[in-house]
Amino acid sequence: MSLASEPIRFLLNGEERSVSGVKPTVTILEHLRRTEHLTGTKEGCAEGDCGACTVLLCEPDGAGGLKRRAVNACIQFLPSLHGRAVETIEHLGRNGPHPLQAALVERHGSQCGFCTPGFVMQLHAGWLNGALHDREGRGDRQGVKDTIAGNLCRCTGYGPIVEAGLDLARLPVPDSAIEDAETAARLSALRGTGPFRYETAEGLWLSPRDADELADTYVEHPQALLVAGATDVGLWVTKQHRDLPVLIDVSRAADLRLIEEGPGALFIGAGVTHTEAHQRLAEIHPDIGELVRRFAGRQIRNAGTIGGNIANGSPIGDMAPVLIALGAKVYLRQGDVARVLPLEDFFIAYGRQDRGEAEFVAALEVPVLSGNQTFACHKISKRFDSDISAVLAAFRLTIEDGLVAEARLAFGGMAGTPKRAAGAEAVLTGKPFDEAAARRAAEALAEDFTPLDDMRASAAYRLTVARNLLVRFGQEAAGAPRSRILEIA
């Protein structure tokens, strides 16, 4: 029997709210500005790129405290706040100017001021989470720059904003353990113990608590759209103005938010965010850590999930080629039936995945590298930070007795799906790997791919870059430094 609809209960700047009758796809930003009249949070791009809408989303950390993460309010749906708390720029200044606000004034880090609240909230989150500091606890310029990579300013320039962030990093983070514990207890009471159902005449929002409930809920509503961080789906509403009548929120399924180690592999639940997976993936290979660092802005990484990046089937999604090169497997579930398949087999054609009705991505099994394997991955985009890849290349070779026993060369942006380069792999297999072998394999890429041709890059550019990256891999295997300038002869 279906559950009765509940109101959305959450804390807004420390005060309890109970909201009913609002369309489930109303964004947090819309509610803040139009209903709460908290206009410090701005709307810039409405797609999670500019950071002007940054707020802090808070929830219990499972240890009696509170976990805060910066997110883009413009693409987060209001029902996602149930049992959580949101803090805005108004809350930060409730007891007078925050030290960061004072530092921005002192450093002349604001001109038109439109983007400033987003910078303040993002740097505040970085300060609380230690992202502004190096390993010795000192202010770290690169850490400040990484923190605000998802924020745009067209007036001041980033110099004085970075200096203000460094000023903040020199100050001790206040001890809020008691206050956080009290807030966590309030949120647990607001959330309740059962699954959450919110319904209006315009739509239905369902939040199962674990994978079993998710499986049952999806079977009951097979037409539903699954949503985790809404970093993709949110744009369907803000940009495409689509009606999404039934949404199932997977972010509360606790067993989908686990990372576990198994024999020779890492198991990542589909609900694990990019931020949560970052360090564990970096331990497999530093290139993967660097890729995740460049994956959108921190607000997006705090909300978007590894499973979501795979399930949407994008041909330019950054994680799929990397995981395919590593030999990852995807775990799928439909009701009580589970199955596993190699990740490369999950992608059938553009916009099509091997996923049946009411079947969902539950987890990914990601092999770690063994001693006889070499790996590299590279992201090519017009901007270094917060940009969609033109080409994403990932390579893993297994070397036995000086010969390539297995080659896995995966690319994104080169076809309608993330795809392995079977012809190039065949050229390498059974032979020594060096620059000459890499050049021979690079020539075979023209048979493996008919690259995409769009506003991000031409087909010719993509093919040339893909070849160059494979040659670079061969040069590095032969001992050439990564700084060497490469080109195909």
pLDDT in tens, 358-375: 999 999 999 999 999 999
> Confidence band (pLDDT; 50, 70, 90) for 486?
very low
Start-end of H helices in 44-203: 89-92, 99-106, 116-129, 141-147, 158-169, 177-191
pLDDT, one tens digit per residue, over 310-329 is 999 888 889 999 999 999 99
pLDDT at 455: 86
Average pLDDT over every residue of 281-302: 96
pLDDT at 489: 33
What the chain holds in terms of domains, given with CATH numbers, is: 1-193 (3.10.20.30), 254-367 (3.30.465.10), 373-477 (3.30.390.50)
Mean pLDDT over each residue of the chain, to the nearest integer: 94
Would you tell me how many other CB atoms lie within 10 Å of the CB of residue 3? 11
pLDDT at 137: 79
Q: Tell me what percent of the residues of the chain surpass a pLDDT of 70.
A: 98
> Confidence band (pLDDT; 50, 70, 90) for 157?
confident
Contact present, 86 and 158 (Cβ < 8 Å): no
Positive or negative, the CA dihedral 387, 257, 362, 79 is negative
Q: Lowest-confidence range among 90-94, 178-182, 221-225?
A: 90-94
Total residue length of the chain: 489
Average pLDDT over every residue of 281-290: 97
Enclosing H/E stretch for 403: strand 403-412
- The more confident residue out of 60 and 351 is 60
Name the residue among 289, 294, 45 with its Cα closest to residue 145. 294
> Confidence band (pLDDT; 50, 70, 90) for 267?
very high
pLDDT at 301: 97
Contact present, 59 and 238 (Cβ < 8 Å): no
Name the residue among 369, 465, 388, 470 with its Cα closest to residue 421. 470
Is 479's pLDDT higher than 80? no
Average pLDDT over every residue of 267-275: 98
pLDDT at 2: 65
> Confidence band (pLDDT; 50, 70, 90) for 39?
very high
pLDDT, one tens digit per residue, over 117-139 is 999 999 999 999 999 988 777 88
> Confidence band (pLDDT; 50, 70, 90) for 484?
very low
pLDDT at 482: 62
Q: Tell me what percent of the residues of the chain surpass a pLDDT of 90.
A: 88
Is 156's pLDDT higher than 90? no
Name the residue among 276, 280, 275, 278 with its Cα closest to residue 265. 280
Nearest-10 Cα torsion for 254, 257, 262, 266: 170
pLDDT, one tens digit per residue, over 399-445 is 999 999 999 999 999 999 999 999 999 999 999 999 999 999 999 99
